Amino acid sequence: MSWPRPDGSVVDADAAAWLDRWSLELGQLTRPMLADVDRALGLGDGGQPLSPSTATRFRKVSRACVRRAVEVGVLDVDPWPPAPRGCAQRKAARTRRAINVRALPDPETMAAVIDAIASHQPASRTYQLMTAVAYYAGLRPSEVVMLRTRALDLPRTGWGRIHVTEADVSFDESGEPKTGARSVPIPPVLVELLRAWVRDGGFRGDDLLFCTRTGGRPSWSNWARALQRALATVGTPSMHMYDCRHAAATTWLRAGVPLGEVAKRMGHSVETLVSTYVGALDGDEQLANERIEAALA
């Protein structure tokens, strides 16, 4: 069997032989088989559970391929079994979504990690500020890499603001942020960092804030390596770039910022915020009791 590429060329013989050996024909797909596939798509190479968002993405892509086969008439019906929607499954999903907030660094540690990213490498300053934006503004990494100068309100003193209107949605393709546009207040420490960055770099208007020396987009892998080196320097356990955003939400919640305000800054619903960061709400009972008692007095 020959395997054509989208451009009309044919996959080389070795690759075609590998595909013939390991790939099923569409007509061989059954519901029990695809139920096993669906479960396997939620696991990593070592059998460890993937994050809910990653597993969902893998399943969406796989199901889209099967649905397309139905649309073009290769399959008569979609054999992929529907996802169960029972109460137990929804409860399990909420439990999996919760972040282990005890593993996240506190504000002092995050500040030390951000400081430690800077090195003799010129690109380290870029990754340092990207990490600062992810933490102090709570932005998703995909939103950080698409920040433009026009999205910033940077007063000389006090709090500023980032207007989050773009995100890297697919292979450097710009699109709308995952949960829509939002406006995020940013503290003076980040305002000062961004003012200096814009001034020193001569950025204007639609200029992207973060680029390589050749004008390309900073790579996720290089950003991750810069962060891991800084974590090791500070003596903090390894974490992902996205954990900077999780640390931001945890910091705000523990500071007593109202749930609705934190949700708005994060681009979440209150329900999602609570289910994701429930561990950061521990200890609120005593505070709530004191406020209720004061109101009833």
Q: What percent of the chain has pLDDT over 70?
A: 89
Instruction: Name the CATH superfamily housing domain 105-238.
Output: Intergrase catalytic core (1.10.443.10)
Choose among 203, 192, 217, 208: nearest CA to 147.
208
As annotated, the residues of the chain forming the CATH 1.10.443.10 domain(s) are 105-238
Q: pLDDT-based confidence at 73, cuts 50/70/90?
A: confident
- pTM for the model stands at 0.68
Residue 91 has pLDDT above 50, yes or no: no
- Give the pLDDT mean for 46-58: 81
pLDDT single digits (tens) 128-153: 999 999 999 999 999 999 999 999 99
- Give the pLDDT mean for 235-240: 93
- Residue owning tokens 């009791």: 289
Q: Output helix, strand, coil percentages for the chain, rounded to the nearest 5.
A: 55, 10, 35
Q: What is the pLDDT of residue 92?
A: 46
Give all strands (DSSP E) within 181-225, no chain letters.
Answer: 182-186
Q: pLDDT-based confidence at 95, cuts 50/70/90?
A: very low
Euclidean distance between CA atoms 294 and 288, whole angstroms: 10
Q: What percent of the chain has pLDDT over 90?
A: 45
User: Within a 10 A sphere around the Cβ of 262, how many other Cβ atoms?
Assistant: 23
pLDDT single digits (tens) 171-193: 666 788 888 899 999 999 999 99
Residue 158 has pLDDT above 70, yes or no: yes
User: Within a 10 A sphere around the Cβ of 220, how many other Cβ atoms?
Assistant: 13
Q: pLDDT-based confidence at 47, cuts 50/70/90?
A: confident
Q: pLDDT-based confidence at 50, cuts 50/70/90?
A: confident
Q: What is the pLDDT of residue 116?
A: 97
Residue 9 has pLDDT above 70, yes or no: no
Q: pLDDT-based confidence at 8, cuts 50/70/90?
A: low
Q: pLDDT-based confidence at 27, cuts 50/70/90?
A: confident
Q: What is the pLDDT of residue 262?
A: 95
Q: pLDDT-based confidence at 84, cuts 50/70/90?
A: low
Q: What is the DSSP string of 235-296?
A: T-----THHHHHHHHHHHHHTT--HHHHHHHHT--HHHHHHHSGGGGTTHHHHHHHHHHHHH
